[in-house]
Amino acid sequence: MSRRFYSQDLQPTTAELTLAGSEGRHLAVVLRGAPGDRVTLFNGRGLQAEGTVRRVDAQGVLIEITAHLPATDLDRRRMTLATAVPKGDRFDWLVEKATELGVARLVPLVTARSVVEPRDTRLEKLRRVIVEASKQCGRDDLLELAPLTPVAAFLSQPFPEGSLWVAHPGGGAMHQLAPAWPGVVTFLIGPEGGWTDQEVATATACGAGLLSLGANLLRVETAGLALAAIACCG
């Protein structure tokens, strides 16, 4: 199997392109790519192509497209995970696993009891995590990482009926509710200290249902992984 590389420049009619930046350096320097090497490219929007390295120089790696592959079928349940940000590198781990499982969009939330608010530089690093995870798992569309968003602002947007769910110990059992989830679904996960009563009231007033993840108290990233696995793969 040829190595996969991300290029947002790949289009359905592309005949050749230059792989530059971090992707080009990885191919040219780390992997010692050379003319004749075969690679697979994807553009993060469902398009994939096979190619052959034709030249490696200071400008990057010139790749001739030899075959455009059928666009990935993205007609699956589209899951948005809106979550408080866990401490340390656990958020990186959650972003990586959400990408692997097929989450469409991840929104880092600011809540009343949030203890972590990632800076823009951290979010840029996480976008690189998304690319690397997509390359590894064979995913052709990139998870969308939204800006840091206050939970009240997030809830102010319209949601289709039955599509908004809040992880909460007082909610219904996940395995009973999952079969009824629509094709587009959004889950909210609170911080380590839990949701405030006001936040829960605001969410339910917006039409959200409450969803229990079982008797045990889960970490933020564990709850996110459980929801992603059931919604995207179940």
Percentage of the chain lying above the pLDDT 90 cut: 73
Domain ranges (residues) in the chain: 3-69, 78-233
DSSP string, 90-133: HHHHHHHHHHHHT-SEEEEEE-TT------HHHHHHHHHHHHHH
Q: Which residues of 108-129 are buried (b: 16+ CB within 10 A; e: fewer)?
A: bbbbbebebeeeeeebeebeeb
What predicted TM-score, i.e. pTM, was given to this entire model?
A: 0.88
Q: What is the average per-residue pLDDT within 69-90?
A: 83
Query: What sign does the CA torsion over 225, 113, 120, 146 have?
Result: positive
Q: What is the pLDDT of residues 20-52, one digit of tens each?
A: 999 999 999 999 999 999 999 999 998 999 999
Query: What sign does the CA torsion over 56, 61, 64, 69 have?
Result: positive
pLDDT reported for residue 113: 94
CA dihedral 202, 203, 205, 208 (to 10 degrees): -170
Residue 90 structure tokens: 């656990």
Q: What is the pLDDT of residues 92-124, one digit of tens each?
A: 999 999 999 999 999 999 999 998 777 777 888
Q: What is the pLDDT of residues 198-209, one digit of tens each?
A: 999 999 999 999
CA dihedral 83, 86, 92, 95 (to 10 degrees): -20
pLDDT reported for residue 189: 98
CATH superfamily of 78-233: SPOUT methyltransferase, trefoil knot domain (3.40.1280.10)
Q: What is the pLDDT of residues 152-197, one digit of tens each?
A: 999 999 998 889 999 999 888 776 666 667 788 999 999 999 999 9
In the predicted model, is pLDDT for residue 78 greater than 70?
Answer: yes
CATH superfamily of 3-69: Hypothetical PUA domain-like; domain 1 (2.40.240.20)
